[in-house]
Structure 1
Amino acid sequence: MSKGEITINNSIVSICMKNGHCSTEKMENLCKFYCLLVGSEVQANDSICYVLMFKEEMWVVPELTTGATDLKKWIEPLG
């Protein structure tokens, strides 16, 4: 079950958590992006998380977060 939601509007990405905390960032503020394969098994990962490092914030977004698939598509053109 997702504990938050990612929404993307042009060059702006927002994350809203179920506890009411929301944050919005522009693509131009993204400094680094990582895809983490998290797991306890050598042959298979248990989950994937995306780490977005902006100028002022860092987000850790599990792959099951609503909108995470769109987030990956938003990041891919950046290389």
Structure 2
Amino acid sequence: MTGYELRLWRKGMAWEQERAAEELGISRRMYQYYEKNGPTKTVTLATRTLTLLQLWKELPHDEPVKALRGLSALIYQE
């Protein structure tokens, strides 16, 4: 994930930098650094986790197979 992709992720979540930093457990200043220079692998994995949690809340739970396929694709993307 590049810094630009991190920014796109944040915008897709409809979050300000402060909220993204809080959700990731880092300072806003560190978050700004990652948007400019690219995040660590840990931050990249954390963004995927937060995305999965958000998607899970929005998924219709009467379609578990379809939901798991979508989640699997997200987990295994490089």
TM-score range, shorter chain: under 0.3
User: What is the TM-score with the length of structure 1 in the denominator?
Assistant: 0.25
Between structures 1 and 2, the one with greater strand share: 1
User: What is the TM-score with the length of structure 2 in the denominator?
Assistant: 0.25
Question: Which has the larger Rg?
Answer: 2
Between structures 1 and 2, the one with greater helix share: 2
